[in-house]
Amino acid sequence: DETIQRDLAVFDKLASEGHFPGGNRWLFDHAETVTPASLERIAALGGAISIQNRMSFQGQAFTDRYGPQAAAHTPPLKEMLACGIPLAAGTDATRVSSYNPWVALHWLVTGRTVGDLALYPPDRLVSRERALELYTLGGARITGENDVKGVLKEG
């Protein structure tokens, strides 16, 4: 969160100078360990967040390093959604993960790593519908393209 705090200080300055007019879009990518205070600032400045399923591949290593309590809130999806921050999900392929969307969707819905470690308690999981929305319409919303893409429908 230290990096996010530094970045937010820059965004605060840019916003105070009028550099975010007319819905100028900006986002944080990953933001796995963002704090509630930073989420409030991101929301107030009109930012967005794009999360990836890195924890599906590195959840065990994260748990070993920081403990299961920290892993259970990484990334803080429920808090992001509660703040009303535009949120998108993706794979970050091929740098961190596979481009296969089903791996990312599985992680969002089950909270489990590819090695079957349960990272999140049931109250921290998202529904299949919400996961699909974050993966499709969520991305279109943060790029301002939700009028032309992001919805799975006939035709």
Break the chain into its structural domains and give their ranges.
2-17+25-142
Distances (CA, A) of 101 to 24, 97, 98, 134, 136: 28, 10, 8, 12, 10
pLDDT digits (tens, 9 = 90+) for 85-143: 999 998 877 766 778 889 999 999 999 999 999 999 999 999 999 999 999 999 999 88
β-pair partners for 51: 89
Length of the chain: 155
Fold of 2-17+25-142: TIM Barrel (3.20.20)
Which pTM was predicted?
0.85
